[in-house]
Copies of this chain bind each other. A is one copy, B any other.
Amino acid sequence: MAPGLAALHDALSREHDVFVVAPEREQSAVGHAITLADPLLVHKLSPKAGFNGYAVSGTPADCVKLALHELMPEPPDLVASGINVGANLGFNLLYSGTVSAANEASLQGIKAMAISLGTRQDPDFSYAARFAAHLVKNWDILGPYSQTPLNVNVPALAPDKIKGVRFVRQSQARLTERFVPRTDPWGRTYYWQAGETMGKDGGLDADFPALMAGYVTITPMAHDFTNNEALDLLRTTSLDLPQP
């Protein structure tokens, strides 16, 4: 089992019954993909391993759907997704399988959070796992928005260096575009995608700058892609296609 998932499992299972449904392979940048063209294979985790649940041949969003509708005896109180290796910030939320699992659970009416650690090197999940349990315990701060999925990022810092928690909007941080070309033995060019997340805007009210400054960041999420300002303008126009 991925060490981030194991750390989250251990922290939450101290006070909760935890049922694990996880992709059987690492799912990097799969976004909110779901699997329609192939069947989903499931493998029950061995109770000897200390986990109750299943490994699934699909994506994080597949896991949530299958867990809620087929694998769990009854729906859970909350879905926790993570702990991801690497922060999920700004426009990169679009690419994140970890975030998609929380959004999928929310679409199904289940409380949900995604939790990510802001490093890819030698990750230490202990503080992030402890914070996840703390957040679950304090879920009532969401008041009437308890069904709002939360995107949580934890800095990869020693606990005494973490400055606190900030509730932030999604920033406009995004992956820089970098493609590294290589040549195969037959002389053909192929590419590795190797961008880095860079911030474009904002102060400590936005996710990327706040995480960089040493704060745990929490963004409540919605799933509405409508650009309402542009829609208001378009509704004043007409675009009917003349018959040929």
Q: Classify chain A's interface size.
A: 35 or more
Interface stretch of the complex, out of A13-21, A24-32, A45-53:
A24-32
Q: Which residues of B contact A121 (CB under 8 A)?
A: none
Q: Mark A214-244, 1 if CB is under 8 A from B, else 0.
A: 0010111111111111110111011111011
From B36, B235, B240, give the contact of A193 (CB < 8 A).
B36
Report the Cα distance A240→B29, complex, angstroms. 30
Q: Given A40-B191, A191-B66, A241-B134, A169–B30 Cβ distance below 8 Å?
A: no
Say whether A187 faces chain B, with CB atoms less than 8 Å apart: no
Say whether A142 faces chain B, with CB atoms less than 8 Å apart: yes
Is B94 within 8 A of A32, CB to CB?
Answer: yes
Is A233 within 8 A of B31, CB to CB?
Answer: no
**Residue among A70, A224, A237 with the highest chain B CB neighbour number at 10 A:** A224
Task: Give this chain's copy count.
Answer: 2
Q: Which residues of B contact A108 (CB under 8 A)?
A: 177
Is B164 within 8 A of A240, CB to CB?
Answer: yes
Report the Cα distance A167→B37, complex, angstroms. 32
Residue of B nearest to A143 (CB): B233
Q: Which residues of B contact A94 (CB under 8 A)?
A: 32, 100, 103, 223
| Cβ < 8 Å to B, chain A residues 157-210 | 159-160, 164-165, 167-170, 174, 177, 179, 181-182, 188-194
Minimum-distance CB pairs A-B, first 5: A220-B230, A31-B31, A145-B230, A31-B32, A167-B234
